Amino acid sequence: MSQPLDPVVLLEYPHNGVAVVRISRPEAKNALNASVRHQLAEHFRALARRDDIRAVVLTGGEQFFVAGADIKEFASASPIEMYGRHTELLWDPIARCPKPVIAAVNGFALGGGCELAMHCDIIVAGESARFGQPEVKLGLMPGAGGTQRLIRAVGKFQAMRIALTGCMVKAPEALAIGMVSEVVPDDQTLSRALALASEIAALPPLAVQQIKEVMLAGADLPLDSALTLERKAFQLLFDSADQKEGAAAFFEKRKPTYRGE
């Protein structure tokens, strides 16, 4: 796929099986304008189809992740204009990416930026990172999953406090309430996210993808249905060459070679 003329989202391939999607719009603290959203969606659609990519790291700058939706683009919009933008079609490729997505967050992840991080499967935060849903201070509310993903991640009482006050949550507190996976020194955020991505990329991709799919889909189902879904996916994996290879390597006391088949 050809790179757009004015790329504000960059693609890099630092390690085998790992892609880095980097938002680069520093003049607006990486605020999500139409170009950023479209390029993000385009990259995620393309990465989903690539068999050689087994894990994705999503990051921003060293000083900031994403300061939210671009306020200039919606400050005077009408409801019908907002509806007609169908931004859900641009979030979907991120939410539905079959490969694990790890957010590496330094600095601000606010509003749509916090929602973007919560689209990911693992969040590594630098110790100075700040998360928040400040939309209420603009007379708005989260509109890309912030009310729903946050309450599912941290429970009612923390989610209500965060969304109703628009406060900023510092990384150590975010870790304590389950809003992020790990906190590391700021200069190690990307390297830690890359290390996790490489670790996952070396594992059997069909098993990895089934785990992600079942955990996300099952979380919104009644327990019985979710357990059935889990059982079916578990059984399906017995048809994979990688499952046979994993068992054979265990008994032969050697390192397995996984081919994603």
Helix (H), strand (E) at residue 11: strand 9-15
Residue 213 a catalytic site member: no
Euclidean distance between CA atoms 255 and 261, whole angstroms:
17
Euclidean distance between CA atoms 201 and 203, whole angstroms:
5
Told to check if 153 binds ligand CO8 by CB under 6 A, we report no
Pick from 9, 110, 179, 211 the residue near ligand CO8 by CB under 6 A. Answer: 110
CB of 231 to ligand CO8, least distance (A): 36
The SS3 call for residue 102 is: strand
Alpha helices in the chain (DSSP H): 34-48, 71-74, 79-85, 88-95, 112-119, 146-154, 156-165, 171-176, 189-201, 205-219, 223-236, 241-251
CB of 173 to ligand CO8, least distance (A): 17
Q: What is the dihedral angle through the alpha carbons of 197, 198, 200, 202, rounded to the nearest 10 degrees?
A: 160
Euclidean distance between CA atoms 251 and 101, whole angstroms:
32
Euclidean distance between CA atoms 140 and 137, whole angstroms:
7
Interface of this chain with ligand CO8, residues 116 to 135, rule: CB under 6 A:
134-135
Which candidate in 31, 41, 67, 69 is catalytic?
69
Pick from 11, 69, 117, 150 the residue near ligand CO8 by CB under 6 A. Answer: 69
Taking the least distance from each CB to ligand CO8, the nearer of 110 and 179 is: 110
Pick from 10, 15, 24, 28 the residue near ligand CO8 by CB under 6 A. Answer: 28
Do 24 and 62 meet the contact criterion of CB atoms below 8 Å apart? no
CB of 189 to ligand CO8, least distance (A): 17
Told to check if 138 binds ligand CO8 by CB under 6 A, we report yes
CB of 237 to ligand CO8, least distance (A): 36
Instruction: Give the residue numbers marked as catalytic.
Output: 69, 112, 115, 135
Residues that bind ligand CO8 (CB under 6 A): 28-29, 31, 67-72, 87, 108, 110-112, 134-135, 138, 140, 142-144
